[in-house]
Structure 1
Amino acid sequence: MTSTLLDATSLERRRPRNGLVKALQDGWTIGKRNLKHFTRLPRLLVFSTIQPVMFVLLFGYVFDGAVRGSLPEGFDTYLAFVLPGIFVQSTIFRMTQTAVGLAEDLERGVVDRFRSLPMSRSGVLIGRTIADLVRSLAVIVLMAVFGMLVGFRFTSPIGALGALLVVAVFGYALSWVFGWVALMVPGGESAQAAAFVTAFPLSFISSVFVPPDSVTVEWLAFIARNSPVSATADAARGMAVSGPVLQPLLLALGWSIALLCVFVPLSVARFRRLE
Protein backbone atom coordinates (compact mmCIF):
# COMPACT_ATOMS: atom_id res chain seq x y z
CA MET A 1 0.00 0.00 0.00
CA THR A 2 2.87 2.37 0.77
CA SER A 3 4.01 2.08 -2.85
CA THR A 4 0.78 3.73 -4.00
CA LEU A 5 0.82 6.54 -1.47
CA LEU A 6 2.30 9.93 -2.13
CA ASP A 7 5.17 11.22 -0.04
CA ALA A 8 5.50 14.78 1.12
CA THR A 9 8.59 15.39 -0.98
CA SER A 10 6.78 14.82 -4.30
CA LEU A 11 4.06 17.30 -3.34
CA GLU A 12 6.44 19.90 -1.91
CA ARG A 13 8.75 19.91 -4.91
CA ARG A 14 7.11 23.05 -6.27
CA ARG A 15 4.86 25.47 -4.40
CA PRO A 16 3.00 27.71 -6.82
CA ARG A 17 1.55 30.83 -5.29
CA ASN A 18 -1.71 30.50 -7.15
CA GLY A 19 -4.11 28.21 -5.28
CA LEU A 20 -5.76 26.94 -8.45
CA VAL A 21 -2.39 26.10 -10.02
CA LYS A 22 -1.38 24.21 -6.88
CA ALA A 23 -4.68 22.32 -6.83
CA LEU A 24 -4.22 21.30 -10.47
CA GLN A 25 -0.60 20.29 -9.89
CA ASP A 26 -1.48 18.18 -6.85
CA GLY A 27 -4.49 16.77 -8.69
CA TRP A 28 -2.31 15.65 -11.59
CA THR A 29 0.13 13.99 -9.18
CA ILE A 30 -2.68 12.07 -7.51
CA GLY A 31 -4.24 11.30 -10.87
CA LYS A 32 -1.03 9.60 -11.98
CA ARG A 33 -1.08 7.58 -8.77
CA ASN A 34 -4.62 6.41 -9.48
CA LEU A 35 -3.76 5.45 -13.06
CA LYS A 36 -0.73 3.45 -11.92
CA HIS A 37 -2.92 1.66 -9.38
CA PHE A 38 -5.37 0.76 -12.17
CA THR A 39 -2.69 -0.61 -14.51
CA ARG A 40 -1.34 -2.84 -11.74
CA LEU A 41 -4.65 -4.70 -11.51
CA PRO A 42 -4.83 -6.99 -14.58
CA ARG A 43 -8.41 -8.09 -13.91
CA LEU A 44 -9.61 -4.48 -14.16
CA LEU A 45 -7.79 -4.06 -17.46
CA VAL A 46 -9.33 -7.26 -18.82
CA PHE A 47 -12.91 -6.45 -17.84
CA SER A 48 -12.56 -2.84 -18.99
CA THR A 49 -11.57 -4.19 -22.39
CA ILE A 50 -14.21 -6.91 -22.69
CA GLN A 51 -17.21 -4.87 -21.59
CA PRO A 52 -17.22 -2.28 -24.42
CA VAL A 53 -16.69 -4.99 -27.03
CA MET A 54 -19.71 -6.88 -25.64
CA PHE A 55 -21.86 -3.74 -25.77
CA VAL A 56 -20.97 -3.11 -29.42
CA LEU A 57 -21.75 -6.70 -30.42
CA LEU A 58 -24.93 -7.11 -28.39
CA PHE A 59 -26.60 -3.83 -29.19
CA GLY A 60 -25.23 -3.56 -32.71
CA TYR A 61 -26.34 -6.99 -33.92
CA VAL A 62 -28.75 -8.66 -31.50
CA PHE A 63 -31.28 -5.80 -31.66
CA ASP A 64 -30.60 -4.64 -35.22
CA GLY A 65 -33.50 -6.49 -36.82
CA ALA A 66 -36.01 -5.39 -34.20
CA VAL A 67 -35.09 -1.70 -34.15
CA ARG A 68 -33.95 -0.91 -37.70
CA GLY A 69 -37.46 -0.11 -38.93
CA SER A 70 -37.92 2.68 -36.36
CA LEU A 71 -34.58 4.41 -36.88
CA PRO A 72 -34.55 8.12 -37.81
CA GLU A 73 -33.66 9.18 -41.32
CA GLY A 74 -29.94 8.99 -42.04
CA PHE A 75 -29.27 5.72 -40.21
CA ASP A 76 -29.23 2.54 -42.27
CA THR A 77 -28.16 0.21 -39.44
CA TYR A 78 -28.80 0.09 -35.71
CA LEU A 79 -25.03 0.04 -35.11
CA ALA A 80 -24.73 3.47 -36.77
CA PHE A 81 -27.43 4.83 -34.46
CA VAL A 82 -26.49 3.13 -31.21
CA LEU A 83 -22.69 3.29 -31.09
CA PRO A 84 -22.44 7.03 -30.27
CA GLY A 85 -25.09 6.42 -27.62
CA ILE A 86 -23.08 3.55 -26.20
CA PHE A 87 -20.14 5.95 -25.89
CA VAL A 88 -22.29 7.98 -23.51
CA GLN A 89 -23.75 4.98 -21.69
CA SER A 90 -20.32 3.44 -21.17
CA THR A 91 -18.99 6.76 -19.89
CA ILE A 92 -21.82 7.01 -17.36
CA PHE A 93 -21.11 3.58 -15.92
CA ARG A 94 -17.36 4.15 -16.09
CA MET A 95 -17.72 7.34 -14.07
CA THR A 96 -19.50 5.46 -11.29
CA GLN A 97 -16.01 4.17 -10.50
CA THR A 98 -15.25 7.65 -9.16
CA ALA A 99 -17.70 6.93 -6.35
CA VAL A 100 -16.33 3.43 -5.76
CA GLY A 101 -12.65 4.39 -5.88
CA LEU A 102 -13.03 7.45 -3.68
CA ALA A 103 -15.14 5.55 -1.14
CA GLU A 104 -12.55 2.76 -0.97
CA ASP A 105 -9.73 5.27 -0.48
CA LEU A 106 -11.70 6.80 2.38
CA GLU A 107 -12.27 3.39 3.95
CA ARG A 108 -8.63 2.30 3.70
CA GLY A 109 -7.28 5.53 5.14
CA VAL A 110 -5.53 6.61 1.93
CA VAL A 111 -7.35 9.94 1.94
CA ASP A 112 -6.30 10.50 5.57
CA ARG A 113 -2.71 10.06 4.43
CA PHE A 114 -3.24 12.66 1.72
CA ARG A 115 -4.66 15.09 4.27
CA SER A 116 -1.48 14.84 6.32
CA LEU A 117 0.54 16.15 3.36
CA PRO A 118 1.02 19.82 2.45
CA MET A 119 -1.31 19.66 -0.51
CA SER A 120 -4.47 21.25 -1.81
CA ARG A 121 -7.61 19.69 -0.37
CA SER A 122 -9.35 19.82 -3.75
CA GLY A 123 -6.34 18.08 -5.32
CA VAL A 124 -7.58 14.69 -4.09
CA LEU A 125 -10.87 15.11 -5.92
CA ILE A 126 -9.28 16.60 -9.03
CA GLY A 127 -6.83 13.70 -9.21
CA ARG A 128 -9.56 11.11 -8.89
CA THR A 129 -11.74 12.71 -11.57
CA ILE A 130 -8.82 13.22 -13.98
CA ALA A 131 -7.75 9.57 -13.68
CA ASP A 132 -11.29 8.33 -14.27
CA LEU A 133 -11.65 10.64 -17.27
CA VAL A 134 -8.48 9.22 -18.85
CA ARG A 135 -9.72 5.66 -18.28
CA SER A 136 -13.10 6.52 -19.79
CA LEU A 137 -11.50 8.07 -22.86
CA ALA A 138 -9.39 4.96 -23.38
CA VAL A 139 -12.52 2.78 -23.31
CA ILE A 140 -14.37 5.05 -25.78
CA VAL A 141 -11.44 4.96 -28.21
CA LEU A 142 -11.37 1.17 -27.93
CA MET A 143 -15.10 0.99 -28.66
CA ALA A 144 -14.73 3.28 -31.66
CA VAL A 145 -11.89 1.19 -33.10
CA PHE A 146 -13.80 -2.05 -32.62
CA GLY A 147 -16.94 -0.47 -34.04
CA MET A 148 -15.09 0.48 -37.20
CA LEU A 149 -13.76 -3.05 -37.51
CA VAL A 150 -17.34 -4.38 -37.61
CA GLY A 151 -18.70 -1.78 -40.03
CA PHE A 152 -19.28 1.52 -38.21
CA ARG A 153 -18.09 4.63 -40.08
CA PHE A 154 -17.59 8.20 -38.86
CA THR A 155 -18.53 10.96 -41.25
CA SER A 156 -15.10 12.58 -40.81
CA PRO A 157 -12.11 12.66 -38.43
CA ILE A 158 -13.33 16.03 -37.13
CA GLY A 159 -16.74 14.54 -36.42
CA ALA A 160 -15.13 11.64 -34.57
CA LEU A 161 -13.02 14.03 -32.47
CA GLY A 162 -16.01 16.25 -31.73
CA ALA A 163 -18.11 13.29 -30.59
CA LEU A 164 -15.29 12.13 -28.34
CA LEU A 165 -14.84 15.58 -26.79
CA VAL A 166 -18.51 16.23 -26.03
CA VAL A 167 -18.82 12.82 -24.36
CA ALA A 168 -15.60 13.45 -22.39
CA VAL A 169 -16.83 16.82 -21.10
CA PHE A 170 -20.12 15.31 -19.95
CA GLY A 171 -18.30 12.35 -18.41
CA TYR A 172 -16.00 14.64 -16.44
CA ALA A 173 -19.01 16.53 -15.09
CA LEU A 174 -20.60 13.23 -14.04
CA SER A 175 -17.43 12.17 -12.24
CA TRP A 176 -17.92 15.09 -9.84
CA VAL A 177 -21.53 14.04 -9.32
CA PHE A 178 -20.45 10.52 -8.38
CA GLY A 179 -17.58 11.89 -6.30
CA TRP A 180 -20.14 13.79 -4.24
CA VAL A 181 -22.17 10.58 -3.93
CA ALA A 182 -19.11 8.80 -2.46
CA LEU A 183 -18.62 11.59 0.08
CA MET A 184 -22.28 11.46 1.13
CA VAL A 185 -22.67 7.65 1.26
CA PRO A 186 -20.05 5.92 3.45
CA GLY A 187 -18.55 2.61 2.34
CA GLY A 188 -17.47 1.26 -1.03
CA GLU A 189 -20.42 -1.10 -1.52
CA SER A 190 -22.96 1.53 -0.50
CA ALA A 191 -21.38 4.10 -2.82
CA GLN A 192 -21.41 1.59 -5.67
CA ALA A 193 -25.09 0.80 -5.12
CA ALA A 194 -26.02 4.48 -4.90
CA ALA A 195 -24.05 5.30 -8.06
CA PHE A 196 -25.67 2.42 -9.97
CA VAL A 197 -29.16 3.51 -8.93
CA THR A 198 -28.34 6.95 -10.34
CA ALA A 199 -26.61 5.75 -13.53
CA PHE A 200 -29.11 3.08 -14.59
CA PRO A 201 -32.18 5.29 -15.19
CA LEU A 202 -30.00 8.09 -16.59
CA SER A 203 -28.73 5.86 -19.38
CA PHE A 204 -31.92 3.98 -20.23
CA ILE A 205 -34.44 6.85 -20.06
CA SER A 206 -32.72 8.67 -22.90
CA SER A 207 -32.00 8.55 -26.61
CA VAL A 208 -28.98 6.29 -26.09
CA PHE A 209 -30.65 3.11 -27.38
CA VAL A 210 -33.87 4.21 -29.09
CA PRO A 211 -35.32 7.49 -30.40
CA PRO A 212 -37.36 9.22 -27.65
CA ASP A 213 -40.41 9.34 -29.94
CA SER A 214 -40.64 5.55 -29.71
CA VAL A 215 -41.23 5.70 -25.92
CA THR A 216 -44.95 5.07 -25.36
CA VAL A 217 -45.27 6.55 -21.83
CA GLU A 218 -45.54 10.30 -22.28
CA TRP A 219 -43.77 11.44 -19.12
CA LEU A 220 -40.89 9.05 -19.78
CA ALA A 221 -40.70 10.32 -23.34
CA PHE A 222 -40.51 13.89 -22.02
CA ILE A 223 -37.60 12.96 -19.75
CA ALA A 224 -35.89 11.10 -22.58
CA ARG A 225 -36.18 14.09 -24.90
CA ASN A 226 -34.82 16.61 -22.38
CA SER A 227 -32.26 14.74 -20.29
CA PRO A 228 -28.55 15.65 -20.35
CA VAL A 229 -27.78 12.10 -21.47
CA SER A 230 -30.02 12.47 -24.53
CA ALA A 231 -28.48 15.84 -25.37
CA THR A 232 -24.98 14.39 -25.19
CA ALA A 233 -25.90 11.26 -27.15
CA ASP A 234 -27.68 13.32 -29.84
CA ALA A 235 -24.74 15.72 -30.14
CA ALA A 236 -22.24 12.86 -30.43
CA ARG A 237 -24.51 11.08 -32.92
CA GLY A 238 -24.94 14.18 -35.05
CA MET A 239 -21.20 14.81 -35.25
CA ALA A 240 -20.25 11.16 -35.71
CA VAL A 241 -22.92 9.99 -38.17
CA SER A 242 -26.03 12.06 -38.92
CA GLY A 243 -28.57 14.37 -37.33
CA PRO A 244 -28.76 17.85 -35.79
CA VAL A 245 -25.64 19.08 -34.04
CA LEU A 246 -25.84 22.68 -32.82
CA GLN A 247 -28.90 22.51 -30.56
CA PRO A 248 -28.01 19.23 -28.78
CA LEU A 249 -24.37 20.33 -28.53
CA LEU A 250 -25.27 23.59 -26.80
CA LEU A 251 -27.68 21.75 -24.53
CA ALA A 252 -25.10 19.07 -23.67
CA LEU A 253 -22.42 21.67 -22.89
CA GLY A 254 -24.92 23.68 -20.86
CA TRP A 255 -25.82 20.61 -18.77
CA SER A 256 -22.14 19.76 -18.27
CA ILE A 257 -21.24 23.28 -17.14
CA ALA A 258 -24.25 23.38 -14.81
CA LEU A 259 -23.31 20.04 -13.21
CA LEU A 260 -19.73 21.21 -12.70
CA CYS A 261 -20.85 24.53 -11.20
CA VAL A 262 -23.08 22.70 -8.72
CA PHE A 263 -21.13 19.58 -7.79
CA VAL A 264 -17.54 20.83 -7.74
CA PRO A 265 -18.25 23.27 -4.85
CA LEU A 266 -20.52 20.72 -3.14
CA SER A 267 -17.86 17.98 -3.34
CA VAL A 268 -15.01 20.21 -2.14
CA ALA A 269 -17.11 21.57 0.74
CA ARG A 270 -18.20 18.07 1.77
CA PHE A 271 -14.64 16.78 1.57
CA ARG A 272 -13.42 19.55 3.87
CA ARG A 273 -16.19 18.83 6.39
CA LEU A 274 -15.00 15.20 6.61
CA GLU A 275 -11.69 16.30 8.12
Structure 2
Amino acid sequence: MGNGILKDTWILSKRSVVTTLRSPFTFIPNLLISMFFLLVYESGLSGISKLEAFGGANYLAFILPVSVVSAAIGGAGGAGQGIVKDIENGFFSRLLLTPASRLSIVLGPIIAGMLQLLVQTTLILIVAFLMGLKVETGFAGVLVVLLIAIGWGLAFAGYSAGVALKTKNAQAAQAGTLIFFPLIFLSTTFVPYELIEAQWLKVAATINPTTYIFDSMRTVLIDGWVWSDIGKGFLAIVIVCTITITFAAVSAKKAVSRG
Protein backbone atom coordinates (compact mmCIF):
# COMPACT_ATOMS: atom_id res chain seq x y z
CA MET A 1 0.00 0.00 0.00
CA GLY A 2 2.78 2.40 0.98
CA ASN A 3 4.77 1.72 -2.20
CA GLY A 4 1.60 2.19 -4.24
CA ILE A 5 0.98 5.63 -2.76
CA LEU A 6 4.59 6.64 -3.37
CA LYS A 7 4.46 5.43 -6.98
CA ASP A 8 1.13 7.17 -7.64
CA THR A 9 2.36 10.38 -6.02
CA TRP A 10 5.56 10.29 -8.10
CA ILE A 11 3.61 9.80 -11.36
CA LEU A 12 1.09 12.54 -10.62
CA SER A 13 3.79 14.95 -9.37
CA LYS A 14 5.76 14.35 -12.57
CA ARG A 15 2.66 15.02 -14.64
CA SER A 16 2.01 18.30 -12.77
CA VAL A 17 5.63 19.40 -13.27
CA VAL A 18 5.47 18.66 -17.01
CA THR A 19 2.17 20.56 -17.26
CA THR A 20 3.74 23.57 -15.53
CA LEU A 21 6.76 23.51 -17.84
CA ARG A 22 4.43 23.55 -20.83
CA SER A 23 2.92 26.80 -19.53
CA PRO A 24 5.94 28.76 -18.24
CA PHE A 25 4.01 32.03 -18.12
CA THR A 26 2.09 30.68 -15.16
CA PHE A 27 5.17 30.98 -12.93
CA ILE A 28 7.63 33.32 -14.70
CA PRO A 29 5.74 36.53 -13.72
CA ASN A 30 5.78 35.53 -10.06
CA LEU A 31 9.52 34.83 -10.26
CA LEU A 32 10.20 38.20 -11.90
CA ILE A 33 8.10 40.03 -9.28
CA SER A 34 10.03 38.36 -6.44
CA MET A 35 13.34 39.34 -8.03
CA PHE A 36 12.01 42.86 -8.57
CA PHE A 37 11.20 43.09 -4.85
CA LEU A 38 14.75 42.02 -4.04
CA LEU A 39 16.32 44.61 -6.33
CA VAL A 40 14.04 47.48 -5.25
CA TYR A 41 14.25 46.80 -1.50
CA GLU A 42 18.02 46.39 -1.57
CA SER A 43 18.62 49.56 -3.59
CA GLY A 44 16.01 51.69 -1.82
CA LEU A 45 16.23 50.58 1.82
CA SER A 46 19.78 49.32 2.31
CA GLY A 47 20.69 52.47 4.25
CA ILE A 48 18.54 51.17 7.14
CA SER A 49 21.24 48.61 7.89
CA LYS A 50 23.39 51.42 9.32
CA LEU A 51 21.07 51.60 12.32
CA GLU A 52 22.50 50.20 15.53
CA ALA A 53 19.82 47.50 15.82
CA PHE A 54 21.14 45.85 12.65
CA GLY A 55 24.57 45.35 14.17
CA GLY A 56 26.27 45.94 10.84
CA ALA A 57 24.33 43.15 9.10
CA ASN A 58 24.10 43.16 5.32
CA TYR A 59 20.64 44.41 4.33
CA LEU A 60 20.64 42.19 1.24
CA ALA A 61 20.80 39.12 3.50
CA PHE A 62 18.11 40.65 5.72
CA ILE A 63 15.65 41.35 2.90
CA LEU A 64 16.28 38.17 0.87
CA PRO A 65 13.78 36.04 2.88
CA VAL A 66 11.01 38.51 1.95
CA SER A 67 11.63 37.81 -1.72
CA VAL A 68 11.64 34.05 -1.08
CA VAL A 69 8.38 34.11 0.92
CA SER A 70 6.66 36.31 -1.66
CA ALA A 71 7.64 33.72 -4.26
CA ALA A 72 6.13 31.01 -2.06
CA ILE A 73 2.83 32.86 -1.77
CA GLY A 74 2.65 33.81 -5.42
CA GLY A 75 3.61 30.32 -6.60
CA ALA A 76 1.25 28.51 -4.25
CA GLY A 77 -1.66 29.18 -6.56
CA GLY A 78 -0.10 26.81 -9.09
CA ALA A 79 -1.18 23.74 -7.14
CA GLY A 80 -4.77 24.96 -6.96
CA GLN A 81 -4.84 26.06 -10.59
CA GLY A 82 -3.67 22.62 -11.70
CA ILE A 83 -6.39 20.86 -9.72
CA VAL A 84 -9.11 23.22 -10.98
CA LYS A 85 -7.98 22.67 -14.57
CA ASP A 86 -8.19 18.90 -14.07
CA ILE A 87 -11.68 19.27 -12.60
CA GLU A 88 -12.86 21.48 -15.46
CA ASN A 89 -11.54 19.21 -18.25
CA GLY A 90 -12.81 16.05 -16.57
CA PHE A 91 -9.40 14.54 -15.84
CA PHE A 92 -10.00 14.67 -12.07
CA SER A 93 -13.16 12.56 -12.45
CA ARG A 94 -11.27 10.04 -14.59
CA LEU A 95 -8.54 9.84 -11.95
CA LEU A 96 -11.16 8.90 -9.37
CA LEU A 97 -12.09 5.89 -11.51
CA THR A 98 -8.51 4.57 -11.45
CA PRO A 99 -6.84 2.58 -8.63
CA ALA A 100 -4.68 5.64 -7.86
CA SER A 101 -4.54 6.59 -4.19
CA ARG A 102 -6.84 9.49 -3.35
CA LEU A 103 -4.05 10.99 -1.24
CA SER A 104 -1.64 10.91 -4.19
CA ILE A 105 -4.19 12.75 -6.36
CA VAL A 106 -3.94 15.65 -3.91
CA LEU A 107 -0.24 15.35 -3.11
CA GLY A 108 0.85 15.29 -6.76
CA PRO A 109 0.04 18.97 -7.53
CA ILE A 110 1.15 20.04 -4.03
CA ILE A 111 4.60 18.47 -4.41
CA ALA A 112 4.90 19.90 -7.92
CA GLY A 113 4.20 23.36 -6.49
CA MET A 114 6.84 22.78 -3.84
CA LEU A 115 9.41 21.77 -6.48
CA GLN A 116 8.51 24.84 -8.52
CA LEU A 117 9.31 27.00 -5.52
CA LEU A 118 12.64 25.18 -5.05
CA VAL A 119 13.65 26.21 -8.57
CA GLN A 120 12.42 29.77 -8.05
CA THR A 121 14.28 30.11 -4.75
CA THR A 122 17.47 28.77 -6.32
CA LEU A 123 17.26 31.37 -9.08
CA ILE A 124 16.56 34.13 -6.53
CA LEU A 125 19.61 33.04 -4.52
CA ILE A 126 21.77 33.10 -7.65
CA VAL A 127 20.66 36.68 -8.34
CA ALA A 128 21.34 37.58 -4.69
CA PHE A 129 24.88 36.16 -4.91
CA LEU A 130 25.47 38.19 -8.07
CA MET A 131 24.38 41.23 -6.04
CA GLY A 132 26.99 40.45 -3.39
CA LEU A 133 25.19 38.18 -0.91
CA LYS A 134 27.39 36.62 1.76
CA VAL A 135 26.14 33.69 3.85
CA GLU A 136 27.55 33.36 7.36
CA THR A 137 27.00 29.58 7.44
CA GLY A 138 28.35 28.89 3.95
CA PHE A 139 26.97 26.31 1.54
CA ALA A 140 25.25 24.34 4.31
CA GLY A 141 23.35 27.50 5.23
CA VAL A 142 22.17 27.91 1.63
CA LEU A 143 20.78 24.36 1.77
CA VAL A 144 18.94 25.18 5.00
CA VAL A 145 17.42 28.28 3.39
CA LEU A 146 16.25 26.13 0.47
CA LEU A 147 14.79 23.58 2.90
CA ILE A 148 12.89 26.28 4.77
CA ALA A 149 11.64 27.71 1.48
CA ILE A 150 10.29 24.42 0.12
CA GLY A 151 8.71 23.63 3.50
CA TRP A 152 6.91 26.96 3.50
CA GLY A 153 5.98 26.42 -0.15
CA LEU A 154 4.49 23.05 0.78
CA ALA A 155 2.30 24.79 3.36
CA PHE A 156 1.00 27.35 0.88
CA ALA A 157 0.49 24.75 -1.86
CA GLY A 158 -1.58 22.65 0.54
CA TYR A 159 -3.83 25.61 1.25
CA SER A 160 -4.18 26.44 -2.45
CA ALA A 161 -5.09 22.81 -3.26
CA GLY A 162 -7.65 22.79 -0.45
CA VAL A 163 -9.36 25.94 -1.73
CA ALA A 164 -9.36 24.57 -5.28
CA LEU A 165 -10.98 21.29 -4.20
CA LYS A 166 -13.51 23.09 -2.05
CA THR A 167 -14.57 25.72 -4.60
CA LYS A 168 -13.68 24.03 -7.92
CA ASN A 169 -13.15 27.55 -9.20
CA ALA A 170 -9.90 28.89 -10.70
CA GLN A 171 -10.51 32.49 -9.65
CA ALA A 172 -11.34 31.47 -6.07
CA ALA A 173 -8.22 29.29 -5.88
CA GLN A 174 -6.03 32.17 -7.05
CA ALA A 175 -7.75 34.75 -4.85
CA GLY A 176 -7.53 32.45 -1.86
CA THR A 177 -3.76 32.76 -1.74
CA LEU A 178 -3.95 36.57 -1.65
CA ILE A 179 -5.00 36.51 2.01
CA PHE A 180 -1.44 35.46 2.83
CA PHE A 181 0.18 38.60 1.40
CA PRO A 182 -0.80 40.70 4.46
CA LEU A 183 1.16 38.19 6.56
CA ILE A 184 4.34 39.44 4.91
CA PHE A 185 3.75 43.03 5.92
CA LEU A 186 2.43 42.21 9.40
CA SER A 187 5.84 40.87 10.26
CA THR A 188 9.50 41.86 10.57
CA THR A 189 9.57 42.55 6.86
CA PHE A 190 11.80 45.60 6.58
CA VAL A 191 13.22 46.09 10.08
CA PRO A 192 14.04 43.90 13.12
CA TYR A 193 11.37 43.34 15.76
CA GLU A 194 13.12 45.81 18.11
CA LEU A 195 12.57 48.68 15.67
CA ILE A 196 8.82 48.16 15.28
CA GLU A 197 7.18 51.01 17.18
CA ALA A 198 3.44 50.26 16.87
CA GLN A 199 2.38 47.92 19.67
CA TRP A 200 -0.40 46.32 17.59
CA LEU A 201 2.13 45.52 14.87
CA LYS A 202 4.43 43.92 17.43
CA VAL A 203 1.58 41.71 18.59
CA ALA A 204 0.74 40.80 14.99
CA ALA A 205 4.38 39.97 14.26
CA THR A 206 4.61 37.79 17.38
CA ILE A 207 1.66 35.57 16.41
CA ASN A 208 2.47 35.63 12.69
CA PRO A 209 4.26 32.41 11.57
CA THR A 210 5.92 34.36 8.74
CA THR A 211 8.00 36.17 11.37
CA TYR A 212 9.63 32.91 12.42
CA ILE A 213 10.29 31.94 8.79
CA PHE A 214 12.01 35.29 8.25
CA ASP A 215 13.98 34.97 11.48
CA SER A 216 15.16 31.43 10.77
CA MET A 217 16.42 32.35 7.30
CA ARG A 218 18.06 35.56 8.54
CA THR A 219 19.75 33.70 11.37
CA VAL A 220 21.33 31.27 8.91
CA LEU A 221 22.31 34.05 6.51
CA ILE A 222 23.58 36.61 9.03
CA ASP A 223 24.14 35.23 12.54
CA GLY A 224 25.19 31.61 12.07
CA TRP A 225 23.91 28.39 13.63
CA VAL A 226 21.57 29.73 16.30
CA TRP A 227 19.51 26.57 16.66
CA SER A 228 16.73 28.05 18.78
CA ASP A 229 15.80 30.57 16.08
CA ILE A 230 16.21 28.03 13.28
CA GLY A 231 14.08 25.53 15.20
CA LYS A 232 11.23 28.04 15.57
CA GLY A 233 11.12 28.40 11.80
CA PHE A 234 10.86 24.67 11.24
CA LEU A 235 8.24 24.39 13.98
CA ALA A 236 6.16 27.05 12.22
CA ILE A 237 6.44 25.07 8.99
CA VAL A 238 5.31 21.83 10.67
CA ILE A 239 2.30 23.52 12.30
CA VAL A 240 1.14 25.36 9.16
CA CYS A 241 1.77 22.34 6.89
CA THR A 242 -0.28 20.15 9.22
CA ILE A 243 -3.18 22.61 9.06
CA THR A 244 -3.12 23.26 5.30
CA ILE A 245 -2.52 19.70 4.13
CA THR A 246 -5.24 18.44 6.49
CA PHE A 247 -7.52 21.09 4.96
CA ALA A 248 -6.59 19.84 1.47
CA ALA A 249 -7.20 16.20 2.45
CA VAL A 250 -10.62 16.96 3.97
CA SER A 251 -11.57 19.04 0.90
CA ALA A 252 -10.47 16.18 -1.35
CA LYS A 253 -12.58 13.69 0.59
CA LYS A 254 -15.65 15.90 0.21
CA ALA A 255 -14.90 16.46 -3.48
CA VAL A 256 -14.67 12.70 -4.03
CA SER A 257 -17.92 12.06 -2.13
CA ARG A 258 -19.68 14.62 -4.34
CA GLY A 259 -18.31 12.82 -7.38
TM-score by length of 1: 0.84
Name the residue aligned to 2:231.
250
Shift of the alpha carbon at 1:183?
A: 2.2
Give 3-state SS (helix, strand or coil) of 2:252's partner: helix
Alpha-carbon distance between aligned partners in 1 of 2:107 and 2:114, rounded to the nearest angstrom: 10
Say if 2:204 is the partner of 1:223.
Answer: yes
In structure 2, what is the Cα distance between the partners aligned to 1:200 and 1:39?
Answer: 25
Partner in structure 1 of residue 29 of structure 2? 47
Whichever residue aligns with residue 103 of structure 1, its letter is: V
Work out the CA distance in 2 between the residues paired with 1:154 and 1:76: 11
Query: Partner of 1:189 in structure 2?
Result: 171
The answer to whether the 8 Å contact 1:183/1:270 transfers is yes
With over 3 angstroms needed to count, the CA separation of the structure-2 counterparts of 1:226 and 1:269, relative to structure 1, is: closer
CA distance in 2, matches of 1:213, 1:55: 23
Letter in 2 for 1:169: G
Unaligned runs of 5+ in 1: 1-17
| Cα separation, 2, equivalents of 1:199 and 1:92 | 7
Gaps of 5+ in 2: none
> Does structure 1 residue 158 correspond to structure 2 residue 133?
no
Are 1:124 and 2:105 counterparts? Answer: yes
1:142 matched to 2:123: yes
Evaluate the alpha carbon distance shift between residue 85 and residue 124 of structure 1 in structure 2; reply closer, same or farther with a 3 A threshold. Answer: same
Q: TM-score, length-normalised on structure 2?
A: 0.88
Please give the residue correspondences for 1:1-275 in structure 2 after superposition, counting only pairs within 5 Å: 18=1, 20-44=2-26, 46-65=28-47, 67-70=48-51, 72-155=53-136, 156-196=138-178, 198-242=179-223, 245-275=226-256
Amino acid in the other structure paired with 1:168: I
Contact persistence 1:75–1:242 (CA under 8 A): no
Amino acid at match of 1:233: F
Structure with greater helix share of residues: 2
Classify 1:211/1:185 alpha carbon distance in 2 versus 1 (closer, same or farther; 3 Å): farther
Give the Cα separation in 1 of the matches to 2:87 and 2:139: 41
Q: Distance in 1 between matches of 2:36 and 2:74?
A: 14
Match of 1:6 in 2: none
Per the TM alignment, residue 27 of structure 1 is displaced from its structure 2 partner at its CA by 1.3
Cα separation, 1, equivalents of 2:224 and 2:62? 10
Give the RMSD, CA atoms, in angstroms. Answer: 2.2
Stretch deviating more after TM superposition (257-266 or 227-236): 257-266
Aligned length: 255
